[in-house]
A and B are shown apart, each in its own frame.
Chain A
Amino acid sequence: MLDTPALDFAWKAAADIATDVALGRVSASSVVEATLARIRERDPLLNSFTAVTEHRARLRAEALDATLARGEPLGPLAGVPFAVKNLYDVAGLPTLAGAKINRDLPPASRDATLIERLEAAGAVLIGALNMGEYAYDFTGENEHDGPSRNPHDLDRMTGGSSGGSGAAVAGGLVPLALGSDTNGSIRVPSSLCGLFGLKATYGRLSRARTFPFAASLDHMGPLARSARDLALAYDAMQGPDADDPVSADRPAEPISGLLDRGLDGLRIAVAGGYFKCKTAEALAAVDGVAAALGANRDIEFPQVERARAAAVIITATESTGLHLDRLRTRPNDFSPAVRDRLLAGAMVPASLAIKAQKFRRWYRTQVLKMFSEVDAVIAPATPCTAPLIGQDIIKIGDTTLAVRGNLGLYTQPISFIGLPVVAVPVPLTPLPIAVQIIAAPWREDVAFRIAHALEVKGVAAAPRPPL
């Protein structure tokens, strides 16, 4: 067995690592050791990890190597290191969810379902990742753990709330990470860090044993440096889960084997109106993707501003319901920005929250009609490239907006009704930005085909930062 500790796995695709491990070209243990060394060396710059599960990872890698030595087959993610946003339960660790308060929780007794499924496919958990407090965040900053830093410019935000997930994958620490997306928290860091990110259809990927935020909007999903790696992770994690009450009773529908189908027969439109880009970088990214896809018609989502408003109201009221006791007993232990929004959410009358839920049904009906005309819609993922850490405002066209609330300008109206989206990175200079490929419910395969085609055409790519 070729087993050179000095082998650099930092920028290797998950698919290639799995092939090499499964064929015995390299041991899972050497992949893990190289990964741990890279994290020790680089994470002080990125601040992406809050816990590194060294001992567990070594044991797991040894077990995989032993399995292969016995001549038994390994899974499709054999030896692939991955890490998870720290709202996923990891057996033996308290589930922080980015919060000071959660440090007092007892250690989780069992892994989240998605961790179990990735490890069943051969992947190796390396640790838990930094995130915005209680996921109520688009910046990747965290008052308690410090900000995760963008590998393309360490003075800039990763985007959030899955900020550590974005930094760890874009910075070459792991090829794969899991995040969560309630209003954009996978797609925003995918955009600012230049990564492929998946927010699957609501109910597709289990949320069991993850710390919630706004239950009717919470999605789990992966971030990776290629559409193929993203698809490998997605395929390994699909399937119903009795431990998640909203998990759909649908069998797994693997898409890894369908990526090369190309664009033939797909009707693709560009989101118009509200989604028309007002910054040069977002415009360049969407125009480039549209040209590569031959998407030359616009389509308008109806009442998008109201959809976003309803998403804000539902997020505020559901998250406050979750945190009400903590707001009574430990208000000083929240960061001010999160506490102020949660307290405000507590005062929103229930009648207005129900109104938002009624609007949600109406909006869903109207948007689903659009998908009788098109198979996919492309839209910007963020209004701009990564702002500086600590930056409070952004200028979007003629308007000055607060950064914290508006990085999710284009993602909120989509996750609001649970549509599947693959965020694809466009490697602009000096900073990347992503475009959303939005498909009809349960048609992740369409979004993946388009993402992969854009990668093959060289339009989408996860740029390698100077690290």
Chain B
Amino acid sequence: MKRKARKKKSARRARPAHLRNAVKAARRSPAPVDHVEALMSAGAAALGIAIDPAWRDGVAFNLRLMLKLAAALEAFPLPDETEPAPVFNA
């Protein structure tokens, strides 16, 4: 997504950009943010991966499924002391 051209400085610019945007968004009462789409865009940018627009629905479908499964795991309380098992030793 391209950034909009910078406007002239004013007193209001003292507010950080992310807060300004949040206030604007709140005033507009926008549609609910699609966090999966946002995560996908931000993750792709951070990792340097290009996701073709034609692939987005398929990727988003899989990511939603993975996050749903992860949420089921998160809902299961585990003691802090539980060791992860990245290399399983039977």
Measured CB to CB, the nearest residue on chain B to A442 is B90
Q: Does A453 touch B at the CB level, under 8 Å? A: no
Q: Is the CB of B83 within 8 A of A340?
A: no
Q: Is the CB of A340 within 8 A of B78?
A: no
In A304-324, the 8 Å CB interface with B consists of: 305-306, 308-310, 312-313, 316, 324
User: B51, B63, B67, B82: which contacts A362 (Cβ < 8 A)?
Assistant: B82
Q: Give B35 Cβ to nearest chain A Cβ, in Å.
A: 11
Q: Is the CB of B48 within 8 A of A357?
A: no
Q: Is the CB of B90 within 8 A of A202?
A: yes
Q: Is the CB of A419 within 8 A of B90?
A: yes
Q: Interface size class for chain A?
A: 35 or more
Q: Does A352 touch B at the CB level, under 8 Å? A: yes
Q: Is the CB of A347 within 8 A of B85?
A: no
The stretch from B1-9, B15-23, B26-34, B52-60 touching chain A is B52-60
Q: Does B25 touch A at the CB level, under 8 Å? A: no
| A interface footprint on B69-90 (CB within 8 Å = 1, 0 otherwise) | 1101110101000111111111
User: A309, A347, A354, A358: which contacts B69 (Cβ < 8 A)?
Assistant: A309
- A348-B63, A357-B86, A362-B82 are contacts. A336–B69 as well, Cβ < 8 Å? no
- Residues on A with C-beta less than 8 A from B40 are 344, 347
Q: Is the CB of B84 within 8 A of A357?
A: yes
- A336-B58, A355-B70 are contacts. A364–B43 as well, Cβ < 8 Å? no
| B interface footprint on A341-361 (CB within 8 Å = 1, 0 otherwise) | 101111110001011111111
Q: Give B16 Cβ to nearest chain A Cβ, in Å.
A: 24
| B interface footprint on A441-462 (CB within 8 Å = 1, 0 otherwise) | 1100000000000000000000
Q: Does A182 touch B at the CB level, under 8 Å? A: no
Q: Does A388 touch B at the CB level, under 8 Å? A: no
Q: Does A100 touch B at the CB level, under 8 Å? A: no
Q: Does A328 touch B at the CB level, under 8 Å? A: yes
Q: A310 vs B66: C-alpha distance in the bound complex, in angstroms?
A: 9
Q: Is the CB of B70 within 8 A of A341?
A: no
Q: Is the CB of B72 within 8 A of A306?
A: yes
- Residues on A with C-beta less than 8 A from B55 are 331, 336, 339-340, 343
User: A308, A313, A346, A357: which contacts B49 (Cβ < 8 A)?
Assistant: A346
Q: Does A201 touch B at the CB level, under 8 Å? A: yes
Measured CB to CB, the nearest residue on chain B to A327 is B49
Specify which of A201, A355, A358 lies most central, judged by the most chain B CB atoms within 10 Å of its CB. Answer: A358
- Residues on B with C-beta less than 8 A from A306 are 72-73, 76
Q: A313 vs B68: C-alpha distance in the bound complex, in angstroms?
A: 10
Q: Is the CB of A216 within 8 A of B88?
A: yes
- Residues on B with C-beta less than 8 A from A418 are 88, 90
Q: Does B11 touch A at the CB level, under 8 Å? A: no
Q: A179 vs B25: C-alpha distance in the bound complex, in angstroms?
A: 54
Q: A303 vs B50: C-alpha distance in the bound complex, in angstroms?
A: 37
- Residues on B with C-beta less than 8 A from A203 are 89-90
- A358-B84, A360-B85 are contacts. A441–B90 as well, Cβ < 8 Å? yes
Measured CB to CB, the nearest residue on chain B to A364 is B85
Q: Is the CB of A309 within 8 A of B73?
A: yes
Specify which of A340, A345, A360 lies most central, judged by the most chain B CB atoms within 10 Å of its CB. Answer: A340
Q: Is the CB of B88 within 8 A of A202?
A: yes
User: B65, B66, B70, B86: which contacts A216 (Cβ < 8 A)?
Assistant: B86
Q: A327 vs B44: C-alpha distance in the bound complex, in angstroms?
A: 10
- Residues on B with C-beta less than 8 A from A355 are 70, 73-74, 78
Q: Does B47 touch A at the CB level, under 8 Å? A: yes
- A202-B90, A346-B43, A419-B90 are contacts. A362–B70 as well, Cβ < 8 Å? no
Measured CB to CB, the nearest residue on chain B to A203 is B90
- Residues on A with C-beta less than 8 A from B47 are 324, 328, 346
User: B66, B84, B89: which contacts A313 (Cβ < 8 A)?
Assistant: B66
Q: Give B70 Cβ to nearest chain A Cβ, in Å.
A: 4
Q: A26 vs B18: C-alpha distance in the bound complex, in angstroms?
A: 80
User: B39, B44, B78, B90: which contacts A359 (Cβ < 8 A)?
Assistant: B78
- A358-B82, A364-B88 are contacts. A352–B74 as well, Cβ < 8 Å? yes
In A189-235, the 8 Å CB interface with B consists of: 201-203, 216-217
Q: A345 vs B83: C-alpha distance in the bound complex, in angstroms?
A: 23
Measured CB to CB, the nearest residue on chain A to B69 is A309
- A303-B76, A341-B62 are contacts. A246–B87 as well, Cβ < 8 Å? yes
Q: Is the CB of B66 within 8 A of A316?
A: yes
- Residues on B with C-beta less than 8 A from A357 are 84-86
The 4 closest A-B pairs by CB, nearest first: A441-B90, A344-B62, A357-B84, A309-B69
A interface residues with partner B (beta carbon < 8 Å): 201-203, 216-217, 246, 248, 303, 305-306, 308-310, 312-313, 316, 324, 327-328, 331, 336-337, 339-341, 343-348, 352, 354-362, 364, 417-419, 441-442
11 residue pairs from A and B, CB less than 8 Å apart: A203-B89, A248-B89, A306-B73, A309-B72, A313-B66, A340-B59, A340-B62, A348-B66, A355-B74, A356-B70, A418-B88
